[in-house]
């Protein structure tokens, strides 16, 4: 079994040296202190697996030190009290104050070895439990990330988008702030896949996602893969005039990638069409209806020749549109 880190606190020099020697002979790493305060100061850096505490000490009683250890360091480590007395009341009080076991001084070497062996088993289990908890926590973090993430692009997925849109509708409704939804769709992506291959198509979607994430990464901006070659961007506190600028910025960002698309009827490079709606929510809007409205504008942008956007106030007239 692995050696333990044992913190020993004993004010009587002869006892301290004797115990330190015995414990080191059993193969453990020992840090011995004569004062409770010094032991407390070194506790975190030494990170003990076991604490041996004399009950009666001049600067701080062992029971008081045990209480402080339990209060300051929530991770449980066994504490064994040492005392010349063995009255049942004293033992009961020591256990009440946070101790786990009790040894009467002078400590018998066989009893000491046996108790240390028992504590070592607990220490091994404790370390395994700690390791398992860390692994479990990591797995949980990964899982919650995967639940909200699109596998191909690592953007937020549809599930997360729906949830965020509902939250933002309520939040903006409560605060009377404008919200914008931009929906974009890659133009002529079928011929792109057909000619350059599906893997190249996947890589292109990843590149587009990376570009979107880079351009819309401020607090209150959410980029998500809506499905297939469609993406959605939510812009907090963004009205229709600002939305037009954001659509333009997005168009420029995609154009700047200059991804070759010789089979597009629109341009020699890959382009996208966009629809955008902006409004001050009441907080009661249905998200399905919002997607439908913004999809209608996207469809109009497609119908008008693609590589352009149509932005409108929700339930109102178009604000602006771009031609390719």
Nearest-approach distance from CB 252 to ligand GTP, in angstroms? 19
Please choose, from the candidates 302, 71, 285, 23, the residue with its C-alpha nearest in 3D space to the C-alpha of residue 183. Answer: 302
Q: Out of 214, 228, 305, 318, which residue is the one contacting ligand GTP (CB under 6 A)? A: 228
Distance CA 133, CA 302 (A): 52
Active site residue 229: yes
Question: Angle at CA 63, nearest 5°, toward 61 and 67?
Answer: 120
Nearest-approach distance from CB 266 to ligand GTP, in angstroms? 8
Binding-site string for ligand GTP from residue 262 to residue 301, where x marks contact by CB under 6 A and - marks none: ----------------------------------------
Nearest-approach distance from CB 185 to ligand GTP, in angstroms? 5
Which residue number, 28 or 302, has a Cβ lying nearer to ligand GTP?
302
Residue nearest to ligand GTP according to CB distances in the complex:
201
Q: Which of 229, 246, 285, 293 is catalytic?
A: 229
Which residue number, 117 or 260, has a Cβ lying nearer to ligand GTP?
260
Which residue number, 123 or 274, has a Cβ lying nearer to ligand GTP?
274
* Among 9-17, 96-104, 131-139, 199-207, the segment contacting ligand GTP (CB under 6 A): 199-207
20 near ligand GTP, rule: CB under 6 A: no
Nearest-approach distance from CB 212 to ligand GTP, in angstroms? 15
Which residue number, 187 or 285, has a Cβ lying nearer to ligand GTP?
187
Three-state secondary structure readout of the chain = CCCCEEEEECCCHHHHHHHHHHHHHCCCEEEEECCHHHHHHHHHHHCCCEEEEECCCCCCCHHHHHHHHHHHCCCCCCEEEEECCCCHHHHHHHHHCCCCEEEECCCCHHHHHHHHHHHHHHHHHHHHHHHHHHHHHHHHHHHHHHHHECCCCCCECHHHHHHHHHHHHHHHHHHCCCEEEEEEEECCHHHHHHHHCHHHHHHHHHHHHHHHHHHCCCCCEEEEEEECCEEEEEECCCCHHHHHHHHHHHHHHHHHHCCECCCCCCCCECCEEEEEEEECCCCCCCHHHHHHHHHHHHHHHHHCCCCCEEEEECCCCEEEECCC
Which residue number, 121 or 198, has a Cβ lying nearer to ligand GTP?
198
Which residue number, 104 or 154, has a Cβ lying nearer to ligand GTP?
154
229 near ligand GTP, rule: CB under 6 A: yes
* Among 90-98, 168-176, 181-189, 314-322, the segment contacting ligand GTP (CB under 6 A): 181-189
152 near ligand GTP, rule: CB under 6 A: yes
Q: Out of 170, 193, 242, 300, which residue is the one contacting ligand GTP (CB under 6 A)? A: 193
Instruction: Please give the residue ranges that form the binding site for ligand GTP (CB under 6 A).
Output: 152, 185-190, 193, 198, 201-202, 205, 228-229, 302, 306
Active site residues: 229
């Amino acid at each position: 079994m692995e050696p333990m880190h044992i913190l020993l606190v004993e004010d009587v020099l002869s006892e301290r040296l004797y115990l330190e020697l015995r414990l080191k002979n059993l193969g453990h790493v020992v840090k011995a202190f004569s004062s409770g305060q010094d032991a407390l100061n070194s506790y975190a850096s030494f990170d003990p697996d076991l604490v041996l505490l004399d009950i009666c000490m001049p600067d701080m009683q062992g029971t008081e030190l045990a209480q402080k250890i339990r209060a300051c360091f929530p991770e449980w480590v066994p504490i064994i009290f040492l005392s010349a007395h063995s009255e049942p009341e004293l033992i009961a009080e020591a256990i009440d104050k946070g101790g786990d076991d009790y040894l009467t001084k002078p400590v018998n070497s066989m009893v000491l070895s046996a108790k240390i062996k028992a504590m070592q088993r607990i220490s091994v289990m404790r370390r395994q439990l700690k390791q398992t908890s860390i692994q479990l926590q990591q797995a949980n973090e990964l899982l919650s990330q995967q639940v909200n993430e699109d596998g191909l692009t690592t953007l937020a997925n549809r599930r997360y988008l729906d949830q965020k849109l509902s939250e933002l509708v309520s939040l903006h409704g409560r605060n009377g702030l404008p919200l914008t939804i931009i929906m974009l769709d890659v133009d002529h992506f079928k011929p792109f896949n057909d000619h350059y291959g599906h893997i190249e198509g996947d890589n292109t979607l990843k590149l587009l996602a990376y570009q979107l994430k880079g351009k819309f990464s401020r607090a209150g901006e959410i980029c998500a893969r809506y499905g297939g070659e469609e993406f959605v961007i939510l812009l907090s506190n963004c009205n229709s005039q600002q939305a037009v600028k954001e659509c333009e910025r997005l168009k420029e960002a995609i154009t700047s990638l200059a991804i070759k698309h010789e089979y597009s009827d629109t341009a020699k490079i890959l382009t996208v069409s966009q629809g955008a709606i902006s409004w001050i929510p009441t907080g009661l809007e249905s998200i399905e209806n919002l997607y439908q409205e913004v999809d209608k504008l996207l469809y109009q942008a497609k119908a008008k020749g693609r590589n352009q956007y149509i932005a409108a106030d929700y339930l109102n007239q178009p604000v602006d549109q771009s031609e390719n």
